[in-house]
Amino acid sequence: MSGTAVRYKDSVQPVRTDSRDIDRRVAVLTGEAADQQASGTAGEHAQKQAEVWRNLPQPEANDPTYYDRPLLNEPVWKWAIPTYDYIGGLTGAALVLGAAAQIGDTASRERLIRRCHRIGFAGVVVSAALLVEDLGKPSRVLNMLRVFRPTSVMNMGAWILMGSSVLAFGAFVLRPRKGRLRRVGQFCGYAAGVFGAALATYTGVLTGNTAVPLWQASRKILPILFGVSAMSSVGTLFELTVESAEERRLTKLFGTVGQTAELAAEIVMERQAAVVPRVARPLHRGLGGFLWRSAMLLTGTGLLLGLTPRHTRNRRIVSGLLGTLGSVLMRFTVEHVGTVSARDARASFHQQRAGYGAAEVTGRTAAVL
Amino acid sequence: MAETKGFFTDTTLCIGCKACEVACKQWNQLPDDGFLFTGMSYDNTVHLGASTWRHVAFIERPVPLTPQHDGAFSWLFSSDVCKHCARAGCLESCPTGAIVRTEYGSVYVQPDVCNGCGYCIVSCPFGVINRREEDGQAWKCTLCYDRLREDMIPACAKACPTESIQFGNLEDLREHAKERVRKLHESGAHNAYLYGATAEDQPGTEGLNAFFLLMDKPEVYNLPPDPCVPTKKVKDSWLAAGATAAAMALVAVGAVLFGGRERV
Ligand code: SF4
């Protein structure tokens, strides 16, 4: 089960170790942590941590930290999660649009409905694949469906994705049929719209519902930002792919409202975070600041370009690309700035001292000193 | 159900010997974290994590502190651990039900159920629980669940030579801790106070089953001054999500009804 590594390679007496240094010929592993797989290479992870310690912080009596070490453990999510946020948003908003398009006389909108259901179906498949990628194996995704836990946003999300999957599949496969099957498909389409709306927004709730100071400060705006960005994602995707003028006018309206709101939500998020200056820092400095500005710039330029009259095909493609890039980059940036924020103990400390810890819900701060 | 058990860590008694860290590693057969020399205080452990379930903080600062009379310099030690919060962020966020409340009131991660989603890590306001790179699972202090089942006290408390780590029934520990603070105040250490001993002390977590006696601001020990389990505030987020979902539906219907016709 566990590998071994050589430690002190250059010394006269290198040591083979599995990180436990328990002689397995005479001992058995039965402790609570006996299942922890150990490779003997923990030193390499530790080196990364040690880097932070290279710059000796000056103790500040009025604004103390523990050697400027992080308070929190930082998010372990990799590229699959922000990608999931984007794809899930796109999928959800497409299902909402698909459901709306089913209303009334649909003769001229059949192609649009079909497209929305296709995006919805492909989207849930990709989303599930991304979750598997993040968790390591498919069975781990199913672990989430063994319970129903309203306190866990991620558990709710698993059920939302599950519901969206079944319904998007139903709509995609059954609605093009005839008679009874079509009516079932039609119903699935409407229900998928409801689940889709949840799919497009719950990731914002999930991200805000954490102890990471910047995400916590943004917990009311994140579901809005993620939701409207999902609308924008659908709009810009259709800009890139759709030929029929009527379809485009319709999806463009949906997307433009989303894109405008996306830009506005980004501005609001930055302002809300800045209530405690230290909390907003990752949005202003370093790589995070650069990415955040870039995302806004892309979204803004895409929006403007899309609004100009004389809509040539080339212009449409450029505006669609810029908008899509802006939305994708926003997802990755939110992830990145959260990680930076988790590394800054002062962000949490200042936030809580300023009354945005438990005091926000309990009306008084717990701090004694 | 057994009575709620917990730790009272009296940091004024800690001598920084790290016996607790070693006992924890040994009993639980935790792998090492690599042998790293920070070159900064005697703390080479740095932080709690997936394989570090006790961490002794060494605070050495050119800052004066009553009742240490060494001029403008003070030393503080504190053995940090999972707080087994009454409202635990990790437990409430866990999507699989892997994290449970045991009959001792402690918060326990069932390794065979944990799917390594990583949500508990960002939900713990204390930076306690973490995921191991090798097995992709979340781990933390179990309050020595296996030892408690055999009527033994947790390994760290057993090993602590100064009774800085005290284990027992939470109610008794609270009584005892209050008494200790009173005595310290009497002897001139007016800055002694309890951190997280009750729901009143720490409304955001509704009290910690592993609470502390501290001599300086919580931040000094890398503890948050007013932590809050994220789920206490999640209603706002769901409301925002609901409003956004409704707005999205409205815009979609509007676009379908009015957007498709000629130029808008
Ligand atoms: S301190 Fe963190 S890991 Fe421990 S019970 Fe509380 S929330 Fe969970």
Q: Does B256 touch chain A (CB under 8 A)?
A: yes
Q: Which of residues 42-71 of B touch A (CB under 8 A)?
A: 43, 46-47, 49-51, 57, 59, 61-63
pLDDT digits (tens, 9 = 90+) for A63-74: 999 988 999 999
**Cβ contacts from A onto B, under 8 A:** 382
Output the pLDDT for position B264: 39
Who's near B241: CB < 8 A, 6+ residues apart? A198, A201, A202, A204, A205, A223, A224, A227
**Chain A: residue whose CA lies nearest to B57:** A66
Output the pLDDT for position A349: 97
Q: For residues A294 and B72, which has the higher predicted lDDT (pLDDT)?
A: A294
Question: With left for phi above 0 and alpha for psi between -120 and 50, is residue B151 left, alpha or beta?
Answer: left
Residues of A in Cβ contact (< 8 Å) with B232 = 358, 361
Task: Evaluate whether B99 touches B140 at the Cβ level (below 8 Å).
Answer: no
- What percent of chain A shows pLDDT beyond 70? 93
Output the pLDDT for position A46: 65
ipTM higher than threshold 0.85? yes
Output the pLDDT for position B70: 64
When pLDDT is cut at 50, 70 and 90, the band that residue B65 belongs to is: confident
Output the pLDDT for position A1: 40
Instruction: Please say if the pLDDT value at position A61 is more than 90.
Output: no
Strand partners, B167: B7
pLDDT digits (tens, 9 = 90+) for B205-255: 999 999 999 999 999 999 999 999 999 999 999 999 999 999 999 999 999
Who's near A19: CB < 8 A, 6+ residues apart? A2, A5, A38, A39, A40, A42, B31, B32
Count of CB atoms situated within 10 Å of the CB of A160: 23
- What is the pairing mode between strands B5-10 and B165-169? antiparallel
- What percent of chain A shows pLDDT beyond 90? 70
d(CA B83, CA B95) in angstroms, rounded, equals: 21
Output the pLDDT for position A293: 98
Output the pLDDT for position B1: 58
| Mean pLDDT, residues A235-247 | 86
d(CA B252, CA A250) in angstroms, rounded, equals: 9
pTM of the full structure: 0.91
The angle that helices A221-241 and A286-307 make with each other, rounded to 10 degrees, is: 50
Any atom of ligand 1 within 6 Å of the Cβ of B140: yes
Q: Which of residues 19-78 of A touch B (CB under 8 A)?
A: 19-22, 29-39, 41-47, 49-50, 53, 56, 59, 61, 64-67, 69-77
d(CA A224, CA A38) in angstroms, rounded, equals: 42
| Mean pLDDT, residues A156-182 | 96
| Mean pLDDT, residues B160-168 | 97
User: Cβ A64–B220 below 8 Å, yes or no?
Assistant: yes
Average pLDDT value for chain A: 91
Instruction: Please say if the pLDDT value at position B80 is more than 90.
Output: yes
Q: Most A CBs within 10 Å: which of B251, B257, B261, as the mutation test of the A interface?
A: B251
Helix residue spans in chain A (DSSP H): 42-51, 80-101, 110-135, 138-142, 153-174, 179-208, 213-217, 221-241, 245-273, 277-284, 286-307, 313-342, 345-351, 359-362
The domains of chain A are located at: 80-362
Q: For residues A23 and A156, which has the higher predicted lDDT (pLDDT)?
A: A156
Q: Whose CA is nearest to atom 2 of ligand 1?
A: B124
Ligand 1 centroid to residue B86 C-alpha, Å = 9
**Chain A: residue whose CA lies nearest to B201:** A366
Residue A346 corresponds to which amino acid?
R
The minimal CB distance from A205 to the residues B38, B238, B252 is found for: B238
Output the pLDDT for position B186: 95
A207: nearest Cα among B226, B82, B241: B241
**Chain A: residue whose CA lies nearest to B252:** A97
Q: Best substitution site from B128, B211, B221 to test ligand 1's pocket, by max atoms within 8 Å of Cβ?
A: B128
What are the C-alpha distances in Å from A220 to residues A348, B125, B183, B239?
18, 19, 46, 8
When pLDDT is cut at 50, 70 and 90, the band that residue B97 belongs to is: very high
Task: Evaluate whether A80 touches A130 at the Cβ level (below 8 Å).
Answer: yes
CATH superfamily, with its number, for domain A80-362: Formate dehydrogenase/DMSO reductase domain (1.20.1630.10)
